[in-house]
Structure 1
Amino acid sequence: MTIENLLKNLKEHAPDLDSEGIWPARQLSWLAEANVLRWVVPNAYDGLDVSAEELTQGYEQLAQACLATCFVLTQRNGACQRISGSNNEIMKRELLPRLARGEIFATVGISHLTTSRQHLANPAVQAELQGDEIRLNGTVPWVTGAEYADIIVTGGTCSDGTQVLVALPTSAPGVKVQSHAELMSLTASYTAPVQLNDVVLPWDHLLAGPVEGVMKQGTGGGAGSLTTSTLALGVCGRSLELIQEQADVRDDLRSVANGFSSELATLREDLYASLAGDQDQPQRSAAAIRQRSNSLVVRITQAAMAISKGAGFLRGHPAERAVREAMFFLVWSCPQPVVQGVLEELSCREGF
């Protein structure tokens, strides 16, 4: 399947995926047919190992076509990247070729190690290192596709404050996937908590650690990374299309469409410059781009809703879906400085 046909299929079926809230099994099979599942897997393990720029361009296109499918893919790719970026050759050989071919599904459960539940006195998942075993207890709060995952890349915190990252088979005794959440949008991602009751893993499932801030090690994108901003750009692009369609028949909307188009183009330029390592200018830092992406996706989707009038308020209208999807970026992998920026803008404080 060509990328063009893939994007067409994803766009056509995105409304049904949203309304029905079903797991995107068919969409994932299309990704496999188009070799998208090989993007982040190294060549040595039957992958394509595409460049960061190619991956980012792909994410933006996929998010514009179907955010739910693209989000699931990023969580799966995050797992692949954490595995391939580790020093664990056993897990690489065992998992990466099968992931590249779409034979198994992996995902991540790492928010409790970065942004989620960091305010709690006790860690969400406690890890004990006992000889050649790793024992895990607790709850991984957010795991996309947990019910369908064969492997969850997750971790826990040891008594000394260090953290470990592991490749957790969902078939391991003590792993219990809870019911998936009914979300404001992206319910089809089947994001659910996973309970770990005295789960014991052999040492060869260790991907990183024990070390302080294990998510700062290796690759895979942390909180507030450019991947999140890229997906927001995809939703912005889809909303801009709605606005431009109306501007083509309404002269009073041309300046609005042009303004959003210019802002999106500038943001995209800065994002790709940041990706290439040019972060000397303040507006090109990952945090600044995330904050700008959040701001734009909220404003442009609401503008599309306002322009669509009553029709846009109907359940299933593209503008209505985009508004709900925009809210996702206010909570997904959103570090405190970005949250603070959002709150300052929403409260119309000085500087916004």
Structure 2
Amino acid sequence: MLETRTQQAGEAPVSGPAPAEDGLRELVAGQLAPLTGRIDREGLYPEEFLREAGQLGAFRSHLASQNPAGKADLVSAIRAEEVISAECMTTGFVAWCQNACAWYVENSDSSTLKREVLPKLANGEAFGATALSNPMKWFASIEELKLSAERVEGGYVVSGALPWVSNLGEDHYFGAIFRTTDDNPRPLMAVINCADPGFSLTPCPEFIALEGSRTFGCHFDRVFVPDEHVLADPLPEYIQRIRPGFVLLQMGMGLGLIEGCINTMHEANETLSHVNGYLDDQAGELEEVLEDARQATYALARDPFDTSDAFFADVLQMRLTGSELALRASQSALLHTGARGYLASAAAQRKLRESYFVAIVTPAIKHLRKELARIHAH
């Protein structure tokens, strides 16, 4: 049993239905599943599915101001991502981007963004992204911050470039962190609209997976950001507040992928169980591990606003475990499927490629281990 500081042995499992989960499962089966191959191989962006998922509440439950229950229910948001990722993790990743962007606005000081942008993100009327890969690496002393800004009347003028940000389009929103160049240089975080003057998107080199995620390079040529779009100033307390939820919401991708891999193993066993029994990982074993990981994740997600280092270490350890389990499950799925899983159209080889994305998307395995070492050293 996987345990964390917030879930001790013997504690009752955490559970609860995702928002309109049955409806979301029907939408995934009826509308997303027929597109999965094209999303993976042609880079199709599942816009219509995302809009309908938003109408079902898939991007709303973790936002107290938008959730009819009036509370931040991260468990339901994670479960919704799982349902999507079990079929297509590219779309599950995009759903996480959407959830993360809304999470930033929900927990910000900007009444303008909460009024004008947040309801659209929550309902799938507008799409959002998270450009925190570079800043998170900057916080961990892995790379330099790539955006800078000068103070002007009414806001900031931002310049620089980010190599890749996902779930973008001409009128999409995303959160970005830049450092001011005034007499009091400090990092700030704001919401950028891709339609802002001076902002441009450039195509990325082709990736081996996640091509349907609308990932672009972002270029800022003196982009004006009004004060009303600043999420937080000062930034440190805000980052401490949003970071557990940011990382926990990523678990929906990995947990859903693992479920999809187990489903693939069961399908393979319909004809190959007599020989698959000799493989190291069996579907039943992975099902038990997945359930343990789910309950540990949901336990942490009950209180995403704990800002202590001890709690964040638990979150990072859970995220690391999710990456490792995704790699293990996807390898098992391909081995169970055999040569048929090696076909270009096969789910098994696609899930293997997707699992490596879980392991390298920020925070990557090496990043997680570096941060855990830092926290435990204090």
Structure-2-length-normalised TM-score: 0.79
Secondary structure, in 3 states, of the residue corresponding to 2:224? strand
SS in 1 for 2:118: helix
Bigger relative contact order, structure 1 or 2, given CA contacts below 8 A and separation 6+?
Answer: 2
Distance 2:190 2:32 in 1: 32
Give the residue type in structure 1 aligned to 2:25: E
Seen in structure 2, the aligned counterparts of structure 1 residues 261 and 251 have a Cα distance that, compared at 3 Å, is farther
**Whole-Å separation in 2 of the counterparts to 1:178 and 1:119:** 24
**SS of equivalent residue, structure 1 residue 86:** coil
Q: Deviations over 1:247-287 (max 9, x none)?
A: 354145357223222222222222222323599x99x9222
- Counterpart of 1:216 (choices 233, 240, 243) is 240
Does residue 194 of the first structure (1) align with residue 218 of the second (2)? yes
Match of 2:350 in 1: 321
Find the residue that maps to 2:225 and give its secondary structure. strand
- Go from structure 1 to structure 2 and tell me whether the alpha carbon gap of 1:147 and 1:296 turns closer, same or farther (over 3 Å shift): same
- Correspondence for 2:326: 297
Distance in 2 of aligned mates of 1:309 and 1:46: 46
Q: 2:189–2:235: 8 Å Cα contact kept in structure 1? A: no
Aligned amino acid, residue 368 of structure 2: V
Identify the residue that residue 334 of structure 1 maps to in structure 2: 363
Is the contact between residue 15 and residue 316 of structure 1 (CA under 8 Å) also seen in structure 2? yes
Q: Report if the CA contact (8 A) 1:135-1:198 is conserved.
A: yes
User: Are 1:312 and 2:341 matched, yes or no?
Assistant: yes
- The alignment yields a C-alpha RMSD, in angstroms, of 3.1
- Residue segments in structure 1 that go unaligned for 5+ positions in a row: 342-352
Identify the residue that residue 253 of structure 1 maps to in structure 2: 276
Q: 1:125 to 1:219 in 2, by over 3 A?
A: same
Partner SS state of residue 359, structure 2: coil
Give the aligned partner of residue 12 of structure 2: none
- Residues 79 and 106, structure 1, Cα contact 8 Å, conserved in 2: yes
Q: Give the number of equivalent residue pairs.
A: 338
2:374 aligns to what? none
Gaps of 5+ in 2: 1-19, 372-378
Q: Which residue of 1 aligns with 2:14?
A: none
- Using the TM superposition, give the Cα deviation of residue 110 of structure 1 relative to its aligned residue in structure 2, in angstroms: 1.7
| C-alpha spacing 1:327/1:149, structure 2 compared with 1 (3 Å) | farther
Q: 1:239 to 1:85 in 2, by over 3 A?
A: same
Q: Partner letter of residue 270 of structure 1? A: A
Residue number among 139, 146, 162 corresponding to 2:168 in the alignment: 146
**Matching residue of 1:4:** 25
Q: 1:71 to 1:178 in 2, by over 3 A?
A: same
Q: Are the aligned partners of 2:265 and 2:283 in contact in 1 as well (CA < 8 Å)?
A: yes
Partner residue of 2:53? Answer: 31
* Letter in structure 2 aligned against 1:59: E
Return closer, same or farther for 1:217/1:163 CA change in 2, 3 Å cut-off.
farther
| CA positional deviation for 1:226 | 2.0
Normalization by structure 1: what TM-score?
A: 0.85
Give the equivalent residue in structure 2 for 1:133: 155
Instruction: State the one-letter code of the partner of 1:267.
Output: A
Instruction: Give 2:3's aligned residue.
Output: none
Residue 256 of structure 2 is aligned to residue 234 of structure 1: yes
Closer/same/farther in 2, CA of residues 47 and 273 from structure 1, 3 Å limit:
closer
Deviations 1:3-41 (A, max 9, x none): 231121323322221122111112213213423243344
What is the rounded CA distance, in whole Å, between the counterparts of 2:112 and 2:363 in structure 1? 33
Q: After alignment, is 153-162 or 231-240 more displaced?
A: 153-162
Q: Say whether residues 1:263 and 2:289 are aligned partners.
A: yes
Contact 2:24 2:80 in 1 (8 A): no
Q: Which residue of 1 aligns with 2:17?
A: none
Q: Report if the CA contact (8 A) 1:162-1:212 is conserved.
A: no
Q: Offset of 1:83 from its aligned partner?
A: 0.9
Aligned pairs (5 A) from 1:154-193: 154-159=176-181, 162-193=186-217
Cα deviation for residue 131 of structure 1 reads: 4.2
Q: Deviations over 1:55-93 (max 9, x none)?
A: 122221121122111211111121111112112111211
Moved more, 321-330 or 175-184: 175-184
Cα separation, partners in 2 of 1:310 and 1:253, compared to 1, 3 Å: closer
Partner residue of 1:285? 314
Q: Percent identity?
A: 20
Q: Is the 8 A contact 2:171 2:195 kept in 1?
A: no
Change (3 A) 1:198 1:210: farther
Distance 1:256 1:83 in 2: 42
TM-superposed deviation, 1:136 = 0.8
2:101 equivalent in structure 1: 79
